[in-house]
Amino acid sequence: MTLDPITRTVACNLCTGCGACAGAFPDFIRMVEDPLNGRRPVVEDGADAQAAAMQAASLCAGAGADYGTLPQSDAIDRDWGPVLAAWQGHASDDEIRHRGSSGGAVTALALFALQSELVEGVAHVAARTDDPRLNEAVISHDRAGLLRGAGSRYAQASPAEALGPIAAGDAAVAFIGKPCDVASVAKARAADPALAAKIPLTIAIFCAGAPNLNATTRLLDRLEVPRDAALTDLRYRGSGWPGLMQARWRDADGVEHTSKGIPYGEGWGNILQADRRWRCRICTDHTGAFADIAVGDPWHTPPAGHEDAGRSLIVARTPRGRAFVEAAIAAGVLEAAPEGRDAIARAQPNLATTQGAVWARRLMMRLTGMAVPADRGQPLFRFWLGLGARAKVSSTAGTLRRILRARLWRAVTIRGA
């Protein structure tokens, strides 16, 4: 049987789980939480569903994105996507700053978009109330809703599922997501001027990959949360920069407990990152090149400890994004100072190494008969040439070993499909 393009993208390990296809066609495509492969779309049976999947494929940044459509004035833009301006700063609101992962800039900007009446809602993700291990796409209309989603969520998320409600409504909505989520939304905006008018602002959060549900289970074990406990909260970061990973749970008698806390570096480095999906390991955009504004950690001025007051690196990608950040600073919503346009390279040099490995990883995929994303407009080979000898060997021979060991050429099948 010939697979539709959405199912084929999943089968070929190219899906990012953004949810754009399901958001655009909710009657025919649904997202499934697979413990191993992550949130992935499942196309219903029938000719109408197949036709919907054909249309949805045009929104899929997982299958490929064209970086050549982005303005590139110099080497910084070619390496990192458009950088019109950059700042280091934080939310002026102390609670937002404390709750945020690194300064609360994303939440502060989202709240300013509501308060300035640029939008009537903000699409983002938040922990599911019935199961805090999982995320759900929500549209918030006030400060309380935004604070519910404040802080990083190192778990699978599909914020672009909100495209359906946005398209069906009349209100303008800002969109917050990972770089891959924003890239799919950018495709949707480009294809539909009416939808573009309803999404006047996009904000991307720097991302190093999304772990699966199995990784979350191991994290909870490390936090010593009993397997049979009723989880009530799971915090990956925040309440200080970068903050502790910590959970709350309720026992059989209804007594609430707070777990032990572990440092962000231990939780991410020793537990979660090992279970990032393969698609994340061949990603070429970790910093939100297609967004209006991108926000990440300014690690070049690191925190003094896990409870340090947070700071954010804020990057304007478009003229609209730059004007909005400048307005937020002028309004006192953000306290921020200008950074050089090379701030991403200084703040997160590890991402340059990550970018450099992608060319070789995709080469090994091709040599073993695997499909690769149809990305265009990025100098991936030049990035690889900039790696040291050991990194070059690791990105080639190491990738081949991983492909053979994990049998990555096998079609991905989703449980619960």
Tens digits of pLDDT across the chain (417 residues):
468 999 999 999 999 999 999 999 999 999 999 999 999 999 999 999 999 999 999 999 999 999 999 999 999 999 999 999 999 999 999 999 999 989 999 999 999 999 999 999 999 999 999 999 999 999 999 999 999 999 999 999 999 999 999 999 999 999 999 999 999 999 999 999 999 999 999 999 999 999 999 999 999 999 999 999 999 999 999 888 999 999 999 999 999 999 999 999 999 999 999 999 999 999 999 999 999 999 999 999 988 877 788 999 999 999 999 999 999 999 999 999 999 999 999 999 988 889 899 999 999 999 999 999 999 999 999 999 999 999 999 999 999 999 999 999 999 999 765
Sorted by sequence, the CB contacts under 8 Å of residue 350 that are 6+ apart come out as none
Q: Which of 8, 3, 18, 11 is nearest to 280 (CA)?
A: 18
Look at strands 244-250 and 262-263 and give their pairing.
Answer: antiparallel
My answer on whether omega of the bond before 242 falls inside 30° of 0, hence cis, is yes
How many CA atoms lie less than 13 Å away from 219 in the CB half-sphere? 35
Could you tell me if residue 59 is inside a domain? no
pLDDT of residue 2: 65
Could you tell me if residue 94 is inside a domain? yes
Residue 113, domain extent = 75-211+275-347
Q: Which of 157, 187, 159, 177 is nearest to 375 (CA)?
A: 187
56, 29 contact by CB (below 8 A):
yes
375, 67 contact by CB (below 8 A):
yes
325, 85 contact by CB (below 8 A):
yes
Structural domains in the chain (count): 1
Could you tell me if residue 135 is inside a domain? yes
Could you tell me if residue 404 is inside a domain? no
351, 299 contact by CB (below 8 A):
no
95 token code pair: 């609670």
298, 105 contact by CB (below 8 A):
no
CATH code, domain carrying 330:
3.40.640
> What ranges in 74-123 are assigned the alpha helix state H?
75-80, 94-99, 105-115
Quote the radius of gyration of the chain (alpha carbons, Å): 20
Could you tell me if residue 409 is inside a domain? no
Could you tell me if residue 133 is inside a domain? yes
Taken in order 69, 70, 76, 79, the sign of the CA dihedral is negative
Could you tell me if residue 88 is inside a domain? yes
Alpha carbon distance 196, 198 (integer Å) = 5
Could you tell me if residue 200 is inside a domain? yes
Look at strands 241-242 and 307-308 and give their pairing.
Answer: antiparallel
Alpha-carbon distances of 187 from 25, 59, 70, 244, rounded to whole Å: 15, 5, 12, 36
Please give the model's pTM, rounded to 2 decimal places.
0.96
The helix, strand and coil proportions of the chain, stated in percent and rounded to the nearest 5, come to 40, 20, 40
pLDDT of residue 1: 46
Chain Cα centroid distance, residue 415: 23
